[in-house]
Structure 1
Amino acid sequence: MLINKSMYPVKAGYSAISTMQGQLGKLQTQLGNGQKAQNLAEMGNDRTVSLATRGRLTKLDSFANNIDTVNLRLSFLDQAFTSLNSLKSETRNSATPTSFGENGLVMASLQKDSENRLSQLLETLNLSVAGRYMMGGNKTDAPPVKSMDLIMNGQGPLDGFKTVVNERNRADLGTAETVDLGDLGLPNTRISGPHGNYLSVSSAMFDKLDYKLTSISSSTPTPGAASGIKTSGPTANPINHSSYFSAVPADDATVIVTLKRQDGTAAQTRSMTAVTTLSDPAVVGEYVRVPGDPSATAKNFHEALTALEGDLDSFSSITTNNSAITIKGDADGSAQLGIKLASNPVAGETLSITVQKPDKTFETITLTARASGTPAANEFAIGATRAETMQALDAAIKNQLGNLQASVHTGRLDVDQTGATVALSASSGVFGFSEITSISTTVGESTVTPASNPSITFTGKVRAGESVSFGVKMPDGTSTTIKLSAVDENPGLGQFRISDDPAETAANFAAALRLKLDDTAKTELVSASTFAATNDFFAEDGIPKRVNAAGTALENGASRTVVWYTGEIASTNPRMSATAQVDDATKVGYGVRANEDGLLSMVKTLAAMSVAEYRNDDPTAKGRFSAMVERQMKAMSADTATNEGSVERIALELGVTKATVGRASERNIAYSGQLESLLGDIETVTMEETAMQLLALKTRLEASYQTTASVANLSLVNYLK
């Protein structure tokens, strides 16, 4: 028997035990950290999948970081554009044309409100998040727009917006022409009354030229004596009432007259009876009817009513229950002076009218009655009748008030009258009414030339209601129509008095046209000019334009003007000026530029509205206010919501970006879960399974230890035992 050879492979047993010990240590490590391998070498073929999966997860983590940053910035932008949308709506609804408010309160407050809104807008455009300015495109390290004070007032040698506006307004208005009021057909007067002894002087056109009729009085050369010249006003209430009959009433016909006093007290009624012969003794309220002569009947009626009531100027309205009888006074909505000749004045009687001039000084014009000889400029002749005297007094008032002078602006349009022809021409350049676009007329007896060289020639009698219209281009690119209508009585603004003589009609037309142009220039043109100045200053590229020294053209004004916008200037999509990759295939843009059309329109509109002042003592204030508000409403209209670069559209595009980012985030999260599950299958162990393997291995290892120990103790002696 061989006793030097083992029947049990001890070395192999030791090797198996060593292997199991290694497996036991590995299982214990796996149980401790949950990982299948401690290094790539241990992973075998799975290491390629692990590396690729971990690289993908790292990329998804970077996308998640981008998404968090973008969401933060989008949340601030969302708040900003919600505020801007409210600001736009508030601006749109802040005023409407002709909504001047009591004592002009709305006009006065609109400017201040616009300043506050502009300040809020500029602060919003300079929004920054964690040191990054959000509305300068790809320029994020500095505010994209200048401060409110710097923009409006400038700094040092750089002029601000207010200077640019004043400069543009002067250029558009052109040089003022100093003219006598008489050359403008002023003052407007009207003679009426049963004896042609009532005279009304209207201040309607005076007010437009910043004149005011402040007082009127009369006096006699004899102390204590009553003057035959009765005066009233200035008042906007009807004065110098006259009666008109369209038919002669029947004998003994009674009419009820209702008189309402100007002080607002209750109306009173009077009964007036038409008779062929007055009763003896006289009966109160009777008047003589003249068969076939309505005018003479109206004269008798008016005298009887005046005798019954006294001065009819104390009544705001006088009506009757007979449609054939009308009683009306002169009233055109403006302050008027009233003059009545109760009797023919005597030599030396005076009439004094005081006028406040545009420079706020006062001038009193005194006219003295003259019995014989040629009256001087400050005198009027006493006629044989009150009607003749009133005609002379009317001519003297027109002469004296007509000698007053006013500064008239025609917006760089020239009006020339020669005979029966009136021509209108625009000066060269971009300022004022820069172009006459059309001319049309409803006047039958006239001829017109094309708009390229417009003129109208009156060839015969013009009828009341016929009109002439010119289309002109405004500084801000809009257009307006200058329309004049023919009237056979006192003309108001936009009206001209007709005459049997075509040359006189043409002269009246030219005077009315100058008045209409002056009013339009000081209201609509100035408003259009102010908005044009916003286009000059708030340029999309930030480079302002200025009126050149000659006042004939616009030039680059960057060297002497504040540059309002210093952000990115590009023609590319503003949204792509700031981008972020949120997954492999999706790059979102969330950039905003403060010079985008919608934002720029808000800046321009609020800047224009914030520099326009409306004083109650300014006769052009209401016209300018209405013209400015019309432009504000158009610029802020809800119809602009679909325009490229509008506040609403930018907000919508940013909302789409936010939704896109949200969907990308959801996809990335789901994908990350899948990858982490795959990585878990490759790199991690199941704790329960590992524990079972560990226990089984431990049992085997213990059995191996016992077997090996028993074999190691074997000997011949022990074996023989």
Structure 2
Amino acid sequence: MSVPPLSKSLGWTRGIIESREKLFDLQRQLATGKKAATYGTLGPDRTLSIAMRSRTSITDAYKSTIQTISLRMNVMTQAIDRFSNIGREIRTDAMVPDYVLTDGNRSSTQLRAEAALDEALSLLRSEVGGRYLFAGRRTDAEPVEPTPAIMDGAGARAGFKQHLSERMQADMGADGLGRLVVPVPAAADVAISEDVDGSPFGFKIVQLATTLTGTTATGPAGVPPQATLSFSATLPEAGETVRLTLSMPDGTETVVELTAVAAGEGGDPGTFEIGADETTTAANFQAALVTSLETEAATELRAASGYAAADDFFNMDDANPPQRVDGPPFDTATALRDGTPADTVFWYLGDGDLTTDSRSTAIARIDESISVAYGARGNEEAFRWTIQNLAVLAAQTFDPNNPDVERERYSAMTSRVVSNLSFPDKRQTVEAIYAEITTAQYVSGQADERHTATKATAVQLLSEVEVADRDEVAVKILQLQTRLEASYQTTAVLSQLSLVNFL
């Protein structure tokens, strides 16, 4: 008998070893559910596997970012929506003329405004995970001072109420004429002038117009501006009028109108008696004008002064501190000055750089080519405008012993609230901010849906490349076990062969 060559015996043995290794690999696949233990053993599919795993990892990172910012934006939109509702509710309340002083010197509408102000400020303190959402880039600290500090001050730092008092003194003037000068006429000329040229306080003369027979209106002109009503020997007739238009510190205007009446019929507000001659008539007109200016200053001007004070105090940013009346004395002050952190409460403490877009203070990349901007600042115009109108409504007090004048002032104040909280003059609105944040939410949601679909596709491809079919593996194991058993049996028989057994 011929002896098989060594190479053939080695080949037989190697075949058994390879089969065993393949069996072990199939058993591993059955246990782990994976086709290969390393990328190298995946063959040409390894490139696809690596690419899909990378895509899944990137998608998971984007989805994690979207989840984080979605939580923040959900809190923001809820806060902004409530903020908007607060403004609408107080505006509706202010439409109702309810001059009834329920706590001694304030109405129920004012008390509700005070509570609304505290709620609005608390909304601007909204935070998620220690990140304050209305602080711009300064996200690690509350962006607004506590309400008591803002309104009443803190230590040596003046709050809004003190600021309001100082501004009203400056606007009213020492004599209550709104910083106008109306001297007793020496002859037939009645002069009305501003007390100081260029002062930001009090009334400013816009126009003097007359329908009085025999009179001439000139100005305003000169330094400081002055208007003059000159009477002549031709006396006015009853029913004719003079209109003095004045601008006020909050940008609004008012008109003081005086009507000529016959001798002996004067005394009613807004009238003056026609005298025996031009000098007497001029004196009567001057006295009536002073009385009307006092009333107008005590009502319309004081109301306007409150809103000017609110704008000075709340309209601040990193480059523009709150403005203070440069006094004392305040009733003769002629200029504003910058408040300092040592003497004035800076109500907003967040990132106040309004030269940059507030949304850009928080930007998140949610896709390879898409980023969303969802930042906000508490001193943005819409938020600040609402806050300052709530503050001036809540802060003013009224004298119950002077109901007629105070009722007019109250009406002037609430009418401004109604107008201002309608956001006139193309001002930024709270709804506009809400729309921008919800747009960012929508874009993020759409990106999240795309990432979910992309991940599902990647996972499916990975499954096809990496995941072993357990049924198929089980069949292969059974087939291989059968072949190995046959090989082992054959090998065992061959190992017992000898010449003696053969013979």
Q: Which residue of 1 aligns with 2:480?
A: 697
Report if the CA contact (8 A) 2:207-2:244 is conserved: yes
Q: Which of 208, 217, 221 is residue 439 of structure 1 equivalent to?
A: 208
For structure 1, the residue ranges without an aligned partner over 5 or more in a row are 177-408
What is the CA–CA distance in structure 2 between the aligned matches of 1:103 and 1:637, rounded to whole Å? Answer: 27
Report if the CA contact (8 A) 2:194-2:205 is conserved: yes
Q: Which of 202, 221, 229 is residue 456 of structure 1 equivalent to?
A: 229
Q: Which residue of 2 aligns with 1:490?
A: 266
Query: Which amino acid in structure 1 is aligned with residue 227 of structure 2?
Result: P
Report if the CA contact (8 A) 2:101-2:108 is conserved: no
Moved more, 115-124 or 686-695: 686-695
Q: Which residue of 2 aligns with 1:679?
A: 462
Query: Which amino acid in structure 2 is aligned with residue 477 of structure 1?
Result: G
Q: Name the CA shift for 1:136/1:480 in 2 (closer, same or farther; >3 Å).
A: same
Aligned pairs for 1:291-370 (under 5 A) are none
Q: Deviations over 1:182-216 (max 9, x none)?
A: xxxxxxxxxxxxxxxxxxxxxxxxxxxxxxxxxxx
Relative to the length of structure 2, the TM-score reads 0.91
Report if the CA contact (8 A) 1:136-1:143 is conserved: yes
Q: Which residue of 2 aligns with 1:554?
A: 336
SS in 2 for 1:450: strand
Q: Which of 457, 460, 475 is residue 249 of structure 2 equivalent to?
A: 475
What is the CA–CA distance in structure 2 between the aligned matches of 1:90 and 1:4, rounded to whole Å? Answer: 107
What is the CA–CA distance in structure 1 between the aligned matches of 2:460 and 2:94, rounded to whole Å? Answer: 63
SS in 1 for 2:286: helix
Q: CA deviation at 1:441?
A: 1.8
Q: Which residue of 2 aligns with 1:421?
A: 189
Query: Which amino acid in structure 1 is aligned with residue 249 of structure 2?
Result: P
Relative to the length of structure 1, the TM-score reads 0.64
SS in 1 for 2:237: coil
Q: Which residue of 2 aligns with 1:241?
A: none
Aligned pairs for 1:110-149 (under 5 A) are 110-149=109-148
Aligned pairs for 1:278-293 (under 5 A) are none
Q: Which residue of 2 aligns with 1:664?
A: 447
Q: Deviations over 1:671-705 (max 9, x none)?
A: 11111112222222222222222222222222222
Aligned pairs for 1:177-196 (under 5 A) are none
Q: Deviations over 1:426-481 (max 9, x none)?
A: 12243433421112222243211132231122232312222111221211222222
Aligned pairs for 1:88-99 (under 5 A) are 88-96=87-95, 98-99=97-98
Query: Which amino acid in structure 1 is aligned with residue 193 of structure 2?
Result: S
What is the CA–CA distance in structure 2 between the aligned matches of 1:132 and 1:20, rounded to whole Å? Answer: 61
Report if the CA contact (8 A) 2:133-2:139 is conserved: yes
Q: Name the CA shift for 1:6/1:132 in 2 (closer, same or farther; >3 Å).
A: closer
What is the CA–CA distance in structure 2 between the aligned matches of 1:523 and 1:531, rounded to whole Å? Answer: 13
Query: Which amino acid in structure 2 is aligned with residue 415 of structure 1?
Result: V
What is the CA–CA distance in structure 2 between the aligned matches of 1:7 and 1:139, rounded to whole Å? Answer: 82
SS in 2 for 1:159: coil
Q: CA deviation at 1:411?
A: 0.7
How many residue pairs get matched? Answer: 485
Query: Which amino acid in structure 1 is aligned with residue 305 of structure 2?
Result: S
SS in 2 for 1:94: helix
Report if the CA contact (8 A) 1:10-1:708 is conserved: no
What is the CA–CA distance in structure 2 between the aligned matches of 1:589 and 1:106, rounded to whole Å? Answer: 46
What is the CA–CA distance in structure 1 between the aligned matches of 2:423 and 2:312, rounded to whole Å? Answer: 25
Q: Which residue of 2 aligns with 1:628?
A: 413
Aligned pairs for 1:563-582 (under 5 A) are 563-570=346-353, 571-582=355-366
Q: CA deviation at 1:604?
A: 0.6
SS in 1 for 2:259: strand
Q: Name the CA shift for 1:51/1:701 in 2 (closer, same or farther; >3 Å).
A: same
What is the CA–CA distance in structure 2 between the aligned matches of 1:112 and 1:5, rounded to whole Å? Answer: 111
Q: Deviations over 1:355-387 (max 9, x none)?
A: xxxxxxxxxxxxxxxxxxxxxxxxxxxxxxxxx
Q: Deviations over 1:271-306 (max 9, x none)?
A: xxxxxxxxxxxxxxxxxxxxxxxxxxxxxxxxxxxx
SS in 2 for 1:591: coil
For structure 2, the residue ranges without an aligned partner over 5 or more in a row are none
Q: Which residue of 2 aligns with 1:465?
A: 239
Give the number of the structure with larger relative contact order, counting CA–CA contacts within 8 Å between residues 6 or more apart: 2
- Does the alignment pair 1:412 with 2:160? no
What is the CA–CA distance in structure 1 between the aligned matches of 2:105 and 2:173, rounded to whole Å? Answer: 30
What is the CA–CA distance in structure 1 between the aligned matches of 2:400 and 2:251, rounded to whole Å? Answer: 29
Q: Name the CA shift for 1:63/1:4 in 2 (closer, same or farther; >3 Å).
A: closer
Report if the CA contact (8 A) 2:105-2:398 is conserved: no
Q: Deviations over 1:123-142 (max 9, x none)?
A: 11111222221111111111
What is the CA–CA distance in structure 1 between the aligned matches of 2:454 and 2:59, rounded to whole Å? Answer: 9
Q: Which residue of 2 aligns with 1:276?
A: none
Report if the CA contact (8 A) 1:433-1:474 is conserved: yes
What is the CA–CA distance in structure 2 between the aligned matches of 1:4 and 1:19, rounded to whole Å? Answer: 24
Q: CA deviation at 1:632?
A: 0.7
Report if the CA contact (8 A) 1:643-1:649 is conserved: no
What is the CA–CA distance in structure 2 between the aligned matches of 1:118 and 1:595, rounded to whole Å? Answer: 14
Q: Name the CA shift for 1:23/1:84 in 2 (closer, same or farther; >3 Å).
A: same
Greater share of strand residues, 1 or 2? 1
What is the CA–CA distance in structure 2 between the aligned matches of 1:97 and 1:468, rounded to whole Å? Answer: 32
Report if the CA contact (8 A) 1:96-1:629 is conserved: yes
Aligned pairs for 1:144-155 (under 5 A) are 144-155=143-154
- C-alpha RMSD over aligned residues: 2.3
Q: CA deviation at 1:78?
A: 2.2
What is the CA–CA distance in structure 2 between the aligned matches of 1:97 and 1:425, rounded to whole Å? Answer: 37
Q: CA deviation at 1:533?
A: 1.0
Report if the CA contact (8 A) 1:472-1:480 is conserved: yes
Q: Deviations over 1:61-107 (max 9, x none)?
A: 11111111112112222221222122111110112374425999996
SS in 2 for 1:592: coil
What is the CA–CA distance in structure 2 between the aligned matches of 1:527 and 1:94, rounded to whole Å? Answer: 18
Greater share of helix residues, 1 or 2? 2
